[in-house]
Amino acid sequence: MNRPASRAGHGAATIGSTLGGALSALSAAPGQVAHLFRHRFPTVAVTGMTGIGKTRLVDRLARRSTAEVDDAGSAVMERRTRRTSKGRGFRIRVVPGDNAASRLWALDEVFHEEPVDGVLHVVAYGHATPRRTGGTSGAATATHEELLAAELEDWAITAHRIAGMAVRRGQPVWLIIVVTKADLFPDRIEEAVTYYSPGSGSAFGKKIDELRALAGGAHISIDVLPMSVPTEGGTGPRRRSDDQLATLERRMAQLSGHV
């Protein structure tokens, strides 16, 4: 693996003498470098409906403090890089949750044009922050049931995209359902995790089972993990949040072959 790469470095000098070898080395090397880079910095798509907590989560993952204007929501794809020790990490792409044209472009990008290695799909057990859609005024309101239903609808769209990608790619794809805002329902965390789990028979669980069926033989690994990223200065249990983050990061590293 080293040899062709170092040869390619002297490509111009050796091209006359060992034309065939040098040419094949030149064409192979960029692929190998890209492959190595991709292994060290796999791409991860972060999906989920508007107001669910994607931006807060990835800012925490990237060790970056969240911008003040939380309430606005994200209109375009956000990009972050998470660096871990030993020169590894993740390239994170956050698909905007609002149903704008930019969301469709972003979904196309992460699931079709530059298919990602893994997906963090963010849900919040009906605790998404209601956001106004463009052009309307006044505070947005929605009941818990409406928000749960909206999560389900949002997942149906994303699940189709993930299944399509898995089928086309023919290599394993991993998915972690991140149940965030757990600080808002501390006594119902287990119940929430079950609700989002495959085989649970819940409305969401059934949709996860459908994803498996849609993807056919393509391999998709599915995890469900609780998370909370309380606002800075908040009174929530910091310790639990740190543990949850550590668990998520460990699992992402395992799934990417980093450990």
Ligand X SMILES: Nc1nc2c(ncn2[C@@H]2O[C@H](COP(=O)(O)OP(=O)(O)OP(=O)(O)O)[C@@H](O)[C@H]2O)c(=O)[nH]1
Piece of the chain touching Mg ion by CB under 5 A; list 53-61, 115-123, 152-160, 199-207 = 53-61
Residues 54-93, one symbol each (x = binds Mg ion by CB under 5 A, - = not), give -x------------------x-------------------
Q: Which is nearer to ligand X, 133 or 221 (CB)?
A: 133
Contact between 131 and ligand X by CB under 6 A: the answer reads: yes
Judged by beta carbon, residue 7 or residue 51, the one nearer ligand X is 51
Pick out residues in 61-100 that bind ligand X (CB under 6 A). Answer: 70, 73-74, 96-98
47 lies in the site for ligand X, by CB under 6 A: no
* 3-state SS, one letter per residue, for the chain: CHHHHHHHHCHHHHCCCCHHHHHHHHHHHHHHHHHHHHHHCCEEEEECCCCCCHHHHHHHHCCCCCCCCHHHCCCCCEEEEEEECCCEEEEEEECCCCCCHHHHHHHHHHHHHCCCCEEEEEECCCCCCCCCCCCCCCCCCCCHHHHHHHHHHHHHHHHHHHHHHHHHHCCCEEEEEEECCHHHCHHHHHHHHHHCCCCCCCHHHHHHHHHHHHHCCCCEEEEEEECCCCCCCCCCCHHHHHHHHHHHHHHHHHHCCCC
Of 222-241, binders to ligand X (CB under 6 A) are 228-231
Footprint on this chain of ligand X (rule: CB under 6 A): 48, 50-56, 70, 73-74, 96-98, 129, 131, 180-181, 183-184, 228-231
